[in-house]
Amino acid sequence: MLLTALTLTALSVLPGEPLLRAEDAQHVKVYYEEGRFGGWPANHGMWNWGNEILCGYSRGYNADLGATRHHIDREKPEEFWFARSKDGGVTWTHEHPTENGQMVPRGDFLHGTETPGIELPEITPLKKPMDFSHPDFVLTFRMENIHAGLSRFEYSYDRGKTWKGPHGLPNMGTKGTAARTDYIINGKRDMMIFITVGKENGREGRALCAQTTDGGVTWKKVGWIGPEPEGFAIMPSTVRISESELLTTLRRREGTFRWISQWRSRNNGKTWLQEANPVEYAGEGNPPMLNTLQDGRLCLTYGLRAYPYSIRARLSDDDGKTWGPEIVIREDGTDRDIGYVRSIVRPDGKVVTTYYISDEKTGLERYIGASIWDPSNLSAITNGNPKRQNAF
């Protein structure tokens, strides 16, 4: 394992679990607005073309709904927006996407848009195949609700400046879908997606792998990612290991316990084998994000919804068979409503991780934050005082 050579005297979340800190991590506000709620990059997606980065997020209104709920006013509109950075995540601008010069309503299908008189666009079947090989192609999935309903997708050929859709995603023989954005492109018309679907009782959820070979006109289920759980196994994040091997991580819950599980397929998604959990405890639970670093290591980022409320990571140098210690990217969140990370890898090897969070200055108001950190610049946390290690 990558870090077996390290001898650390460190604080631990679980017995025997050392902690590392991402040294010199730079934290910036992607979106913050007084009186508003910014949330859930994992529900939308994040993409990059070199140092140009695009990140989706929800923009709503702040409301104090108590310690166990999201602080978003559900009686007011929630809209989907995009933040764009052209300097590797240091500064950001914000976009309400346009198509042919006209504003496209990007509201929540349950809560509408903020512009009076504008109706949300109709969800239609896709008839013209998408070209996944286009260098500026980007695709985003969204769901009607978190249980079993209708999911839709929109796509762009200009890095998310204009969008086509929404188009409906078939249920593929399930009780309904709750898709977020997780896909792997295999060719011009060939793509695999990894989505949450409803269980037999209609509740969320379990995960499956699906595929299109005709540019998204039709989709078929390839395989279930594990058996149906009593709780849920949702929000996959997936990387390709080889021509036939895939690795995915899932947000898991059984009863009151939450963690991140890991599954591997060696036949391109037809069957999956469960492996050791990369994160045994995630507080109240959070979705994972898997990336492949420039040196071939895997990077798993996630939010910890337990004190200290934090954004964390783990690294693997053996394709996920083993994972190194937890890495603290930042730990200044003020309560459990935190995380939903998305991450990209910059050309210089640094990782940009986005999430939603609140801090002592913003109080209940959630904002979209980004941390720019170097996976090779880590130190041990020793009684609260970092001690640099050179094993990386």
Q: State how far the Cα of 359 lies from the Cα of 366, in Å rounded to an integer.
A: 8
Domains of the chain by range and CATH?
19-388 (2.120.10.10)
**What integer pLDDT is reported at residue 62 of this predicted model?**
92
Query: What mean pLDDT is reported for the chain?
Result: 91
- Residue 338 burial by CB count (10 A; 0-12/13-18/19+): exposed, middle or buried? buried
Q: What is the pLDDT of residue 14?
A: 53
pLDDT of residue 85: 98
Q: What is the structure's pLDDT at 391?
A: 28
Identify the pLDDT of residue 382.
62
Question: How do the pLDDT tens digits run along the chain, 392 residues long?
Answer: 333 222 222 333 454 568 999 999 999 999 999 999 999 999 999 999 999 999 999 999 999 877 778 889 988 999 999 999 999 999 999 998 877 667 788 888 777 888 887 888 899 999 999 999 999 999 999 998 777 789 999 999 999 999 999 999 999 999 999 999 999 999 999 999 999 999 999 998 999 999 999 999 999 999 999 999 999 999 999 999 999 999 999 999 999 999 999 999 999 999 999 999 999 999 999 999 999 999 999 999 999 999 999 999 999 999 999 999 999 999 999 999 999 999 999 999 999 999 999 999 998 899 999 999 999 999 998 644 443 333 22
Hey, what are 324's tokens? 């190194």
Q: What are the residues facing 289 on neighbouring strands?
A: 301
- Sign for the CA dihedral angle at 366, 259, 265, 231 comes to negative
Q: What is the pTM assigned to this prediction?
A: 0.92
Beta bridge partners, 141, equal: 153
Closest CA to 128 of 99, 164, 159: 164
- Count of C-beta atoms within a 10 Å radius of residue 217: 15
C-alpha to C-alpha distance for 54 and 46, rounded to whole angstroms: 6
pLDDT of residue 144: 84
Q: Using alpha carbons, select from 345, 341, 350 the residue that is nearest to residue 368.
A: 341
pLDDT at 341: 98
Please give the single-letter amino acid code of residue 31. Answer: Y
Q: List, in order, residues 6 or more apart from 116 with CB less than 8 Å away.
A: none
pLDDT at 195: 98
